[in-house]
């Protein structure tokens, strides 16, 4: 590249500002992003769907960001200089903490959005730590100052006391009313650092996301850190050494717009006929084959699923459709794993791995909504390391696969380090909850006069089970929660089987702590008694451990139907009712001669025990 071009790249680099918006859920991140896009006229307002960056329907419905997006904004500042702002969106959920950290690694600056009424929450802290880990400049923004319950001074004090950032530096904003947006843009231009990086150094481009395009393959989103990335380059993914020829580079505005090259600080996309999402790992570094970087950018790690469940098509004939659908989702989601599983009760399906509970819900919902596949999902499980008497270790992600206890030396389960923040009056409730969930107390500190941060180590199993719901109810919704994987610990866990009419139902087996087994066994059998309809015969429901029955409930035999009278010769209504009942039956699974509704397979969750 000629010297003059290099100079142009360097000059451009000085006008770039890369930033993310980080916030606790519901603190108004997406609305703020919308306002920034509007203000900079990045997109015609009328064309803009509410919260454009959250482009999937599901995301909009849930008001959360799942899939990352980056958008290039041209902004003419009051000094008449045109700045290139890259807004890199981050998912707002603990399941996707790694993706968040890689997005942040692509930025120099983070806008930290804090709700003026809610103040600092657990996720706010987690995000701040991630931002600090990535050496980002933090610009605090106190949002929703229009709310009657806003308490700006208290939040400023929090920012100062808890985050150690001068509170008076916080920008006061109301994204809803468009207040504070100019100030944010001004601060980005004047205080946020321009990206460093030498255009003449060997190429290092960070992959922080990818999308799948059915014509052009997997398209990674990248931030160039050093060097230049151009069309025609031969590139290498440093983690897995796959090599590709670049067909196109460009930026998202948010539509894809081809560019000649991407230089240091640029955020854009790379088209290189990449067939498999497996080869585009978030956090990996792209370099050139010739004159490669000597080492990749720091921070890459392989994502491993934390939560597993069985997914089975309600209609067995749609097994191949389900495989195809999972395959399609995986194109865009490297962290989704699946392998065939067969269950006596549910037939053929897939053992599917997820980053966390939200990820699991999203995948299930997309399968049902976008691919029209009705699913039966089994209760989620975590991964156990099972040390056998013979010295071998088995990795078990499906309770049904748990070996017989007589061969087991010890079972290890995953623990997380949990951070819970709540108003002080709920401390008692929350500690009681954590204790009842086998938590190990680490520390507790007052973050201000009113609010407390509690740190616990908790088994992931309990979090997967019902911790979120319980936390909500024991704090009237005021507690916020964040966690990260901490390690594995040995626990006295047992496999509990459920028998319906004397038949063991593999898909209902669960792993429980021995101390909770009786209580949970009773809760599950009682719940199943409610869910499973009456049959023409009595149906016993039993919970057993090592073939010993520990709990039982009985579904009484059916006695009388509701028989409509067909009065006045109206047979149509009768038929409609029969159709409805038939439909209902179709959605059930046969366990021996007992018809079991789908929700039964999730009944081991959300029990009122």
Interacting residue ranges for another protein, rule: CB under 8 A: 534, 536, 556, 558-572, 574-575, 577-578, 581-582, 585
Note the residue count of the chain.
609
Give least dist CB 580 to another protein, A: 10
CA-nearest of 499, 512, 524, 514 to 382 is: 512
For another protein, the closer CB: 472 or 576: 576
Neighbours of 33 (CB within 10 A): 24
Residues 50 and 34: their CA atoms lie apart, in Å, by 7
- Per the listing, tokens 């009051």 go with 78
> How many angstroms separate the Cα of 136 from the Cα of each of 52, 73, 195, 439?
25, 20, 11, 33
For another protein, the closer CB: 178 or 533: 533
CA-nearest of 242, 231, 236, 232 to 205 is: 236
For another protein, the closer CB: 27 or 589: 589
- Cross-strand bridge partners of residue 142: 114, 172
Spatial neighbors of 135 by CB under 8 A, at least 6 apart, are none
Residues 64 and 43: their CA atoms lie apart, in Å, by 21
For another protein, the closer CB: 193 or 584: 584
Question: Helix 122-133 crosses helix 97-105 at what angle (to 10 degrees)?
Answer: 40
Give least dist CB 569 to another protein, A: 5
> How many angstroms separate the Cα of 608 from the Cα of each of 465, 467, 508, 540, 604?
12, 12, 18, 21, 11
The pairing of strands 243-245 and 234-237 is antiparallel
Give least dist CB 17 to another protein, A: 56
For another protein, the closer CB: 245 or 566: 566
Give least dist CB 584 to another protein, A: 10
Residues 104 and 22: their CA atoms lie apart, in Å, by 9
Give least dist CB 523 to another protein, A: 23
Spatial neighbors of 514 by CB under 8 A, at least 6 apart, are 492, 493, 494
For another protein, the closer CB: 490 or 558: 558
> How many angstroms separate the Cα of 93 from the Cα of each of 23, 122, 334, 359, 362?
10, 11, 17, 9, 12
For another protein, the closer CB: 148 or 569: 569
For another protein, the closer CB: 79 or 583: 583
First-to-final CA distance of the chain: 68
For another protein, the closer CB: 547 or 561: 561
Give least dist CB 571 to another protein, A: 6
For another protein, the closer CB: 393 or 581: 581
For another protein, the closer CB: 388 or 566: 566
Give least dist CB 582 to another protein, A: 6
Give least dist CB 480 to another protein, A: 33
Give least dist CB 539 to another protein, A: 15
Give least dist CB 534 to another protein, A: 7
Residues 195 and 327: their CA atoms lie apart, in Å, by 37
CA dihedral defined by 338, 299, 286, 291, rounded to 10 degrees? -140
Give least dist CB 586 to another protein, A: 11
- Which spans in 40-151 are helix H? 57-62, 97-105, 122-133
Residues 286 and 552: their CA atoms lie apart, in Å, by 58
């Amino acid at each position: 590249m000629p010297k003059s071009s290099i100079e142009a790249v360097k000059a451009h680099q000085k006008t770039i500002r890369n930033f993310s918006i980080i916030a606790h859920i519901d603190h108004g991140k997406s609305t703020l992003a919308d306002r920034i896009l509007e203000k900079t006229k990045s997109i015609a307002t009328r064309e803009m769907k509410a919260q454009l960056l959250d482009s999937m329907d599901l995301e909009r419905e849930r008001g959360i960001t799942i899939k990352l997006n980056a958008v290039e904004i041209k902004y003419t500042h009051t000094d008449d200089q045109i700045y290139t702002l890259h807004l890199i969106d981050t998912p707002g959920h603990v399941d996707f903490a790694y993706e968040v950290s890689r997005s942040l690694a692509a930025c120099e600056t983070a806008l930290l959005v804090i709700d003026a009424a809610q103040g600092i929450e657990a996720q706010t802290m987690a995000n701040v730590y991630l931002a600090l880990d990535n050496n980002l400049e933090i610009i605090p923004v106190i949002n929703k100052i229009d709310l009657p319950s806003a308490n700006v001074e208290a939040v400023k004090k929090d920012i100062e006391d808890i985050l150690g950032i001068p509170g008076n530096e916080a920008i006061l904003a109301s994204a809803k009313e468009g207040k504070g947006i100019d100030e944010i843009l001004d601060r980005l231009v004047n205080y946020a650092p321009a990206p460093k990086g030498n255009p003449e150094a060997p190429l290092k481009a960070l992959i922080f996301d990818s999308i799948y395009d059915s014509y052009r393959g997997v398209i990674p989103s990248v931030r160039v850190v050093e060097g230049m990335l151009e069309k025609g380059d031969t590139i290498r993914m440093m983690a897995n050494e796959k090599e590709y020829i670049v067909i196109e580079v460009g930026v998202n505005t948010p539509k894809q717009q081809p560019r000649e090259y991407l230089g240091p600080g640029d955020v854009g996309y790379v088209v290189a006929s990449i067939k498999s999402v497996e080869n585009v790992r978030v956090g990996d570094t792209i370099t050139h084959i010739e004159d490669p970087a000597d080492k990749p950018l720091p921070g890459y790690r392989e994502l491993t699923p934390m939560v597993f469940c069985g997914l089975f098509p309600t209609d067995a004939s749609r097994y191949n459709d389900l495989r195809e659908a999972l395959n399609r989702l995986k194109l865009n989601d490297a962290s989704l794993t699946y392998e065939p599983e067969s269950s006596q009760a549910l037939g053929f399906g897939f053992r599917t791995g997820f980053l966390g509970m939200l990820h699991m819900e999203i995948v299930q919902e997309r399968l049902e909504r976008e691919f029209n596949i009705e699913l039966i999902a089994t209760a989620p499980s975590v991964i156990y390391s099972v040390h056998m008497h013979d010295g071998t270790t088995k990795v078990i992600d499906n309770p049904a696969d748990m070996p017989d206890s007589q061969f087991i030396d010890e079972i290890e389960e995953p623990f997380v380090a949990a951070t819970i923040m709540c108003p002080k009056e709920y401390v008692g409730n929350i500690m009681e909850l954590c204790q009842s969930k086998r938590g190990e107390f680490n520390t507790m500190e007052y973050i201000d006069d009113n609010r407390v941060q509690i740190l616990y180590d908790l088994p992931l199993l309990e979090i997967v089970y019902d911790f979120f719901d319980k936390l909500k109810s024991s704090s009237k919704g005021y507690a916020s929660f964040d966690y990260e994987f901490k390690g594995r610990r040995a626990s006295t866990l047992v496999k509990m089987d459920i028998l319906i009419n004397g038949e063991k139902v593999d898909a209902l087996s669960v792993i429980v702590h021995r101390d909770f087994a009786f209580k949970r066994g009773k809760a599950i059998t009682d719940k199943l008694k409610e869910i499973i309809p009456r049959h023409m015969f009595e149906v016993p429901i039993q919970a057993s451990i090592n073939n010993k029955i520990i709990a039982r409930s009985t579904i009484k035999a059916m006695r009388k139907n509701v028989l409509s009278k067909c009065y006045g010769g109206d047979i149509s209504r009768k038929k409609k009712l029969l159709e409805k009942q038939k439909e209902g039956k179709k959605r059930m699974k046969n366990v021996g001669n007992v018809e079991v509704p789908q929700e039964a397979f999730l009944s081991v969750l959300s029990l009122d025990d």
